[in-house]
A and B are shown apart, each in its own frame.
Chain A
Amino acid sequence: MTAVQDAAQVQAPRPRGGLAQSVTDSLVVAKRNLIRMTRIPEMVIFGLIQPIMFVVLFSYVFGGSMSVGGSTDPGTYREFLMAGIFAQTVTFATAGAGAGIADDMHKGLIDRFRSLPMARGAVLTGRTLADLVQTTLTVVVLAIVALLVGWRVHEGLPKALAAFGLLLFLGYAFSWIGALIGLSVRTPEAATSGGLIWLFPVTFVSNAFVDSSQMVSWLQPIADWNPFSATVQACRELFGNPGVSQSDAWPMQHPVLASLLWSTVIIVVFRTLAVRKYRSATV
């Protein structure tokens, strides 16, 4: 082994601190997570297969027996369904963030990061940004499949892009919930199941797969005020898809604003909790 003394002494530069450092640190960590995704492509592929499976199952198994706005045409249900599947897909990315962070804790990488003079939230922000990239990829593939089964955009491209923007924003918000779960459980396996279980009631007690007016009366307000429903409703409006809820609930009347507000609140609350948890994280 060559002498250790030979290499020049390197000093750690003085941290710039502030927002600039947060941004660069987050990007360094995001890059790391994206490199990992390319090295474990099966993770990305499974992430793609799942929503496609949902589209096919819901369209062809339930499609014929569902009525949307009085119509029982399976084609109408498929158009109605897609906003729900899109929203479900972006929120299921939560489990990925949780499992990834729990794995980093387990392997000791979080300790490595915490011993470095880096921005406090950067490890988590980097992870959620990388997940956002993966979610975007999944949404693009899913949109192609949706077009193949007959889903169409009726209100023009700008509105459709706005809808995708809302979806990705919701997915990003939910990945912060995943980050908190990942930091709170003991094993990556627990993060995977813990990251998914609560998503089922959240996505099913909503307007994603059925019109909330068809639910029992006490469930209707829950579905109408579900953060998830606001985004689904907004997407149906912006895509011009059938089945827009006629409910009087405020989020159903102002879905775009409600969606933006909900996602912002989720980010503020869960980012704060997750960063606090990160700072005191111990395996």
Chain B
Amino acid sequence: MPGAIYAEGLVKTFGDVRALDGVDLDVPEGTVLGLLGPNGAGKTTAVRVLTTLLRPDSGTAVVAGIDVLKHPNEVRRSIGLSGQFAAVDEYLTGRENLQMVGQLYQMSGRDAKARAGQLLERFNLADAADRTAKTYSGGMRRRLDLAAALVVSPPVMFMDEPTTGLDPRNRQQLWEVIQELVASGTTLLLTTQYLEEADHLADDICVIDHGKVIARGTSDQLKARTGGERVEVVVHRREEIERAREVLTVLGEGEVSVAAHSRKLTVPVSGGAKLLAEVIRDLDARGVEIDDIGLRRPTLDDVFMSLTGHAAELETNGETDKETVA
């Protein structure tokens, strides 16, 4: 049985640009898929297709068991959308925004009002409910945006870069909300440029670049693919580098790389903590003074680097440009 979100062979071109170049996705019910990729990789285009906003040139998409291309309005009843697009009206109050969205989900005026009240409580916006959204902080606005996506309890949620531009405290708060949401059984597709975010929230990760899925798996699987763990040693004095290298060559599993200026040596290893203890004993026996030593596992940054040949581009000012889709 296909998952709550299922896509096969999605292609979308804008002029010469193949924004989606044969994307397949399958997200089992109640799980979180992190769609990871740099700006312009096709993440936003994929979300727009799955949320009925954009018609693909070819391919099929099924969301919550409904064909996206054949019954878009049925799909719209079953999804919530939040993120860099799908904004709130800044000249309406928080309450008016949620009430309007409720009514447009075809709730009665009274039901929409009651639901707006519930959501404002739940997202800590009750005190600001009757102020215009213009006066809200970035974090409050994201919470309102998320609340708007949850006016009906949609079985499937799409979040496009939900925490881009938020400070760490607000990001943490939003992560908690997302985790609670998923715990209650919602299927979530989340796009992000933050590798840490995908690591933290997603059950499965799809890495996308130039409109193609270039890798998929759990965070651990992707890291294992990139290469195993390694030992990093920083010695106290430059003269000790040679001796440390001899030790690491014997115990490690490959070439030892040396950064002389920072007195740091790195070598791939297998054997985990037990091996680390051995390295420390041998270095000590050879009289090498250690400033820092540790067992490092690859981060998703390393994964990204090895898959795409370039680092994930993080925005410096916290605001992302929309992917060019016009």
Contact = CB atoms under 8 A, between A and B. Distances in A.
Interface string B290-326: 0000000000000000000000000000000010011
A276 interface: no
A116 B105 contact: yes
B73 A111 contact: no
Interface string B52-87: 111100000000000000000110111101001111
Contact of A5 (B121, B154, B173, B184): B184
B104 A116 contact: yes
A35 B101 CA distance: 15
Q: How many B residues touch the partner, as a band?
A: 35 or more
A9 B153 CA distance: 6
Contact of A107 (B87, B100, B121): B87
A39 B76 contact: no
Given A4-B122, A109-B87, A118 B55 contact: no
A7 B118 contact: yes
B115 interface: yes
B181 to A, nearest CB: 5
A2 B106 contact: no
Interface stretch (B89-97, B193-201, B267-275): B89-97
B132 interface: yes
B39 interface: no
Interface in A104-159: 107-109, 111-118, 122
Contacts of B84: 108
Contact of A6 (B85, B91, B122): B122
Contacts of A117: 73-74, 76-77, 104-106
A40 to B, nearest CB: 6
Interface stretch (A12-20, A223-231, A261-269): A12-20
B148 interface: yes
Interface string A219-239: 000000000000000000000
B87 A115 contact: no
Given A2-B122, A28-B104, A111 B53 contact: yes
Interface residues of A, number: 43
26 contacts: A2-B122, A3-B180, A4-B181, A8-B118, A10-B151, A14-B77, A16-B106, A29-B100, A32-B96, A39-B92, A40-B91, A107-B87, A108-B86, A111-B81, A111-B86, A112-B86, A112-B101, A112-B148, A113-B104, A115-B51, A115-B79, A116-B101, A117-B73, A186-B326, A280-B55, A283-B85
Interface of A: 1-16, 21, 24-25, 28-29, 31-32, 35-36, 39-40, 107-109, 111-118, 122, 186, 280, 282-283
Given A2-B122, A4-B183, A15-B73, 16 more contacts: A1-B180, A4-B180, A5-B184, A7-B118, A10-B152, A15-B77, A32-B89, A108-B85, A109-B89, A111-B87, A112-B87, A115-B52, A115-B79, A117-B73, A186-B326, A282-B54
Interface of B: 48, 51-55, 73-74, 76-79, 81, 84-92, 96, 100-101, 103-107, 115, 118-119, 121-124, 132, 148, 150-154, 173, 176-177, 180-181, 183-184, 322, 325-326
